[in-house]
Structure 1
Amino acid sequence: MKRRTLLLAALPASAIASTPPRLKAGVFEPAQAAPEFSLKGSDGAELKLARFKGKLVLLMFGFTQCPEVCPTTLATLAQARKSLGADAADVQVVYVTVDPERDDVARIRQYLGAFDTSFVGGTETPEKLAAMRKRYGVVAEKIAAKQGNAYGMNHSTSVFLIDRAGKLRAMMPYGHEAKDFVHDLKLLLAAK
């Protein structure tokens, strides 16, 4: 009787021990193909998702005059990428502007370079960017300043995690630390 109780007590512990590690980001189940896009890249080349097949892509939307969310997220992604060591070569950060009126490729290149020179950004016409945001379920809207012609932008703040095969695997909400990205990137890098 004692032996059977011991075996039954050990079952939950063994079930927990054999549970595979889970992503910290919200997971797309099942994984789905990430919508392709074609933008003017900050590196001078056409920016397409297909360019990065075989790499993990961290896709985010923002604008260069963003006061908090964008620079915080980019700094977090730069820190996560640095923490990966040699594996960082298999991770590409892609930044898409929600403010094409002010963000041209030169401005985006300069902005991203302050975080990590490997980051690539993109812009296009407002119509093409709106269509891309719609395919990704991203929202963005201009917010008028209280005085003058200045404006800000409200926009979705999550980072999309796209696997080596170009599938949307997860979406990391704003506010996660670099270690959470490192955790998820290592799991996705190890996946075959």
Structure 2
Amino acid sequence: MAPEIAQDAADGSAFRLSALRGKVVVLEFGFTHCAAVCPASLASLAAARQKLGAHSDRLQVVFISVDPERDTPARLKTYLAQFDKGFVGITGTPEQMAAIRKDYGITATKHTAGGKTGYQMGHSSYLYFIDKKGMLRALMPFGRPADEIVHDVNVLAAE
């Protein structure tokens, strides 16, 4: 089983990963100030949902912040809406987010570049695929095209 995630989503609703059973869930860990990797992954995920067309409801994307100090719920919600209004954003206290990262083996390190808010986050960049039964089934490294995401979603959705 994929480790449970249970806390408020960026839109204020109560979120439980286990409530998404019946859908293929893709988790992405990232942050809203990311310059390249996170937006590229989110764009691929948004393109995959578009390519799924009438079957786009098979896929639920959940973006989990590795930078809770800057990723407020409002900022996360606005950021994700640029890609797909159906994406769910998760943020919380630094302790809550550290616990989720630990459960999924995600590393995140703050790299300061001057000033209090002048930092970037170095973090693991994988997409975590969770099947309809809640089992963690695959990790996809950064940079995979939308067609490969669609393929994997369709395989997992057909099971």
Q: TM-score, normalised by structure 1?
A: 0.80
Shift of 1:47: 1.7
Q: Paired residue for 1:50, among 18, 24, 40?
A: 18
Offset, 1:37: 1.3
Identity %: 49
CA distance in 2, matches of 1:98, 1:128: 10
What is the Cα deviation at residue 42 of structure 1? 1.5
- Is the contact between residue 58 and residue 153 of structure 2 (CA under 8 Å) also seen in structure 1? no
Q: CA deviation at 1:114?
A: 0.1
Name the structure 1 match of 2:88: 120
Deviation for aligned residue 1:43:
2.3
Partner letter of residue 148 of structure 1? G
How far apart in 2 are the matches of 1:190 and 1:129?
Answer: 32
Aligned to 1:22: none
Question: Which residue in 2 is equivalent to 1:148?
Answer: 115
Separation in 2 of the partners of 1:127 and 1:44? 19
Q: Which runs of 4+ in 1 moved over 6 A?
A: none
Paired position in structure 2 for 1:65: 33
Rg bigger for which structure? Answer: 1
2:68 to 79, 88, 100: 100
- Matched with 1:82 is 50
Mind listing any 5+ residue stretches in structure 1 that lack a counterpart? 1-32
Q: Give unpaired runs (5+ residues) of structure 2.
A: none
Shift in Å at residue 126 of structure 1? 0.7
> 1 CA distance for matches of 2:139 and 2:7?
21
Residues 26-62 of structure 1 deviation map (CA, whole Å, 9 limit, x = unaligned): xxxxxxx000011220222112102211111000100
Pairs aligned (count): 158
Query: What is the Cα-based RMSD across aligned positions, in Å?
Result: 0.8
